A and B are shown apart, each in its own frame.
Chain A
């Protein structure tokens, strides 16, 4: 039926990840369920990306992630308009662009899905940044809903016993908060089941990420950014476990069939920080032009990076340690250890760091990390300045020159 003009390039078709459509289907269903929660008698909680979602799942609450929504805003290139709206409201341009665009969406019902469903309550964990505290306070005032804050102390050298007790204590307070909001007791049997599914999902996700250690890599970090959505939003559900099983099987099959994402992959790179959501295609093409593949990143492994700290039979006590130990809640020395492992594991030729104007805790210290990586590991490192959602912070020709020059250095 297809005539010549619309015939698809079979080579390109072969490289496409088939699970993408399933993923889109799951995310669409998820957002429809979230947006129709009220009609179905379900409660909706907004939660930060690093927050303990397992408890919400166990309480049958639909978790909604303003940060995942922020990523969607960025990917659909709607960031500038929404950020400007927030700036008109008086928010500084220096404020995180996820926060700015989400706040603007709350007020205007704008954005790619016409705004997020109204929350019944909010859960904020500051293991990812300090901005979320004020952001969620503002949101709580806007919607007149209760807010629970889980405070995870920053880890300088090691997680102290005092910190552990402090976070565990808050976890019990969190359960009490949920019981009050939902008007029912926590079912600990169900909680254990969710914990097992969460850990299972994390393991599968890590296995998916591990497949890119193969040369050539069956997928890139840009693909990981996309497929990450479920481990963030639906962690602790069977949906996530089933999906990552399917994705893992596809990746293994690609390796068997010799299918790589970047044709003629010659150089392997590691990405640091959040994606530049509105430029993932441009960046991926740019690197592919140099036969370079971003095989891994510090961002998508942040969730699974702490899974070994979790005892699924004692989630309440051990989850506290895991949540506190995520990649950006730790000192530069600990971050460097993680970088070192990733550089070795994926056998990369270079490191590309996105100095993200929005994400201060992720970006602060990158110059020091760059020095450490170059001195100790002799791995060339590039820093590009941009923003995850706000396109006004992206200068194409400047970034292009830096990438081209960096690749010239690696190729020599």
Chain B
């Protein structure tokens, strides 16, 4: 049976297609203005890449902020449940998930069946999200892809005290003018993100093993900073950014049509 999952996030739209427990392919596009279109577009491109047609797909589940606007989906399920299913699919031993996406950071405790036991999400604030890192990378004129690597080169992380993205940006600018090295500032930024997310994780109660998903999992600096804060080794999903879509495709396997 072939199933698909579509995850419409605030920044990117993701799609994943599964056939009998095997990943046929996954795809990431920018969501852009029209989230309705983004869902269709990302699935169309993925289907073209892996050479299947819509008729071959038995069921589709949509997730993410735009989940209710994806018309071609059979059902909408929240990203919490989908991330849990995705992480469990990749590594059934995982009991705790840290997902940092564009506008949300969330922590999810799951049981041995990949079901959600408890979860928490960041409040109405961009601190501790992918958007925060994006804003900071821009302020420091650093490419987002190299942002994490640079943070590991920092000797002593600069202290970023503000938890607000806007104020933290002006704090960063003031650190630059004081002559603080770029690497130290970047390390400080990652530490600040890790502090926010670690507090969220501790609120729910961390159970090992821990897996990180979402776009920010590609950032080695954020992963390391979180490992230090939580004093645990963090597994990074090889499909971190499409984990939600993958989980949606897994859950679509349970739909009776």
Residues of A participating in the B interface, judged by any CB pair closer than 8 Å: 367, 374, 380, 383, 385, 393, 395, 397-398, 401-402, 404-405, 408-409, 412
Contacts and interface: CB of A to CB of B under 8 A. Distances in A.
B116 A412 contact: yes
B124 A404 contact: no
Interface of B: 65, 77-81, 115-121, 123-124, 203
Closest 4 A/B residue pairs (Cβ) = A405-B80, A405-B78, A404-B78, A408-B81
Contacts of B80: 401, 405, 408-409
A385 B79 contact: no
9 contacts: A367-B203, A374-B118, A385-B124, A405-B79, A405-B80, A409-B80, A409-B118, A409-B119, A412-B116
B7 to A, nearest CB: 13
Contacts of A402: 121
Given A367-B203, A385-B124, A408-B81, A401 B116 contact: no
> Residue among B77, B78, B80, B121 with the most chain A CB within 10 A?
B78
A28 to B, nearest CB: 37
Contacts of A405: 78-81, 116, 119
B81 A380 contact: no
Given A367-B203, A408-B77, A408-B81, A398 B116 contact: no
B42 to A, nearest CB: 20
Contacts of A412: 115-116
Contacts of B121: 398, 401-402
Kindly name the residue among A374, A385, A404 whose own CB sees the greatest number of chain B CB atoms within 10 A: A404
B116 A395 contact: no
A408 B116 contact: yes
A408 B248 CA distance: 13
Given A405-B80, A405-B81, A398 B119 contact: no
Nearest to A410: B116
A399 to B, nearest CB: 10
Contacts of B119: 405, 409
Contacts of A397: 65
A289 to B, nearest CB: 11
